[in-house]
Structure 1
Amino acid sequence: MIDPTNNDEIIVKAKEFFREVIGENHIKNTKKLSNINNFNVNPFLNKYLANFLTGNDSPESIAKALIYPRVLGTSITTSFGSNLQKFINTTLEGYGSTTSGIDIEFIDKIDNRKKYCQIKAGPQTINYDDVTTIENHFKKAINLGRTNGVPIANMDCVVGVFYGEQNELSQFYKTINQNYTVLIGKEFWFHLTGDEDFYNKITDAIGEIANEFDGRDLLELTTKELAKKLKEIDTLE
């Protein structure tokens, strides 16, 4: 278990997580894209998007138009979101919570109060139903504290958002922020670690992991395999 007072350990664990979980899953999910069944092929848009991207609508261009948005957008974003709990359990294990519905507990380095925190990925990653769920978790934590003689104020119930800025928060986060506390990006990591520059340090450290991954060959191979299947379909029609 990491020492929650040692910020360097958080950096090391975060790099391990991105290398071994996010990076490896990204590769695995990219390989799957050689299978045409992983796409809802839209005959109205595919050729347009291919021409927009490459200037022609060859099977290779259509394959690129299908694959690139997945690899550079939805695939890696979904992978991070779905593995967020792993990040909490590995990178932030020293802050683990035994309170139902609470991801981590920590002593706020700014006001020195204990915080009961739910972790979210980014400023647009919750929906309408999540608001009620999060607020119910906080109410239960406050009631449990009252039962056990542990005073927990609304200000001690926190949503910690890994990245982004306050002005990027969705209306759903703003609704929660009316009664509780939403800390996002640099602000969240500052309250967690006491290092005002920690957000930049951890994002820079994770950026170093990018140098270990070069997906050009994999992208080229996956594109060729998908293009081959697109040609076969075109031949059958």
Structure 2
Amino acid sequence: MTEEKRIEILNNAKEFFRKEIVGSHIEGSCKRASKLSEYNVNPFLFKYLANFLTGNDNAESIAKALVYPRILGSSINTSFGMKVQKLIGELFQGFGSTTSGIDIEFIDAIDGRRKYCQLKAGPNTINRDDVTTVINHFNGVRNLARTNNLNVGINDMIVGVVYGEDSELSSHYKKISESFPVIIGKEFWYRLTGKEDFYYELIDAVGEVALEVDGSQIVEDTISKLAIEIQQKYID
């Protein structure tokens, strides 16, 4: 892969994160988190959690105990998970495959062979039914290769997992790996780009976008709005 193409992938990742993740986090998650109706409040625990977090159980402290885990944890992870297929589409422009059931094709930087790759987001993003689907697609590629006298080996059909580590792969991926290679995270990006540390460059590129964002005022506003509702319902 050329340096120009590597830079294009990094820029695509930054633009995606800036537009899709940051935007939806601010406009969607934070606005929803400011409404008491968005929470399933456990009345036996919320004062305890507020005291545990801040040392008191006033409305603002209760709001903080509700808002922080929502906007810093579940909401952003859910948003990323829902948009990851779009991320894959934007990152891998120009690698698309015309072969049925294959997402991208590329020349492996390690062994120099053409790889027929199904892309997956992370180490836990497939279910049991996906195992059969992936294997059937790869078997279809093998049959097509035989028909057309193409030199396509078992190791040329891979599942490429965009992020994570081998030790994190779910049992479903491990089932696939009994028949076809599953390449994850750092090694996948190395094979794709020819640059051993590209995976970390990609992580850093997304991190640069994070430096553009100061959400402290948005968080304060979210807590203040929620605290008013809490005061009215539980304290007044």
Q: Distance in 2 between matches of 1:149 and 1:49?
A: 66
2:180 corresponds in structure 1 to 180
Cα deviations by residue, 1:167-218 (Å, 9 ceiling, x for unpaired): 2222222221111111111101001101111112111121111110111100
Q: Distance in 1 between matches of 2:125 and 2:116?
A: 19
Q: Distance in 2 between matches of 1:135 and 1:149?
A: 21
Q: Distance in 2 between matches of 1:101 and 1:11?
A: 26
Q: Distance in 1 between matches of 2:84 and 2:193?
A: 19
- Cα 1:173/1:154, change in 2 over 3 Å: same
RMSD: 2.4
Where do 1:1-237 residues align within 5 Å?
Answer: 6-28=5-27, 29-234=29-234
Q: Distance in 2 between matches of 1:190 and 1:168?
A: 19
* Amino acid aligned to 2:217: D
- Cα 1:131/1:33, change in 2 over 3 Å: same
- Cα 1:57/1:7, change in 2 over 3 Å: same
Query: If the length of structure 2 is used for normalisation, what is the TM-score?
Result: 0.88
Consecutive unaligned residues of structure 1, counting only runs of 5 or more, are none
* Amino acid aligned to 2:22: G
Identity of aligned residues (%): 56
Q: Distance in 2 between matches of 1:63 and 1:137?
A: 49
Contact 1:26 1:75 in 2 (8 A): yes
Shift of 1:144: 4.1
Q: Distance in 2 between matches of 1:107 and 1:34?
A: 49
Shift of 1:130: 3.0
- Cα 1:66/1:202, change in 2 over 3 Å: same
- Cα 1:107/1:58, change in 2 over 3 Å: same
Q: Distance in 2 between matches of 1:137 and 1:74?
A: 33
Q: Aligned with 2:94: secondary structure?
A: helix
Contact 2:59 2:235 in 1 (8 A): no
Shift of 1:44: 3.3
Q: Which moved more, 1:223-232 or 1:116-125?
A: 116-125
Q: Aligned with 2:211: secondary structure?
A: helix
- Cα 1:150/1:189, change in 2 over 3 Å: same
Contact 1:109 1:192 in 2 (8 A): yes
Q: Distance in 2 between matches of 1:123 and 1:12?
A: 24
Q: Which has the higher contact order (CA 8 A, sep 6+)?
A: 2
- Cα 1:75/1:94, change in 2 over 3 Å: same
Q: Distance in 1 between matches of 2:26 and 2:74?
A: 13
Contact 1:31 1:218 in 2 (8 A): no
- Cα 1:114/1:213, change in 2 over 3 Å: same
Q: Count residues with an aligned counterpart.
A: 235
Contact 2:96 2:103 in 1 (8 A): yes
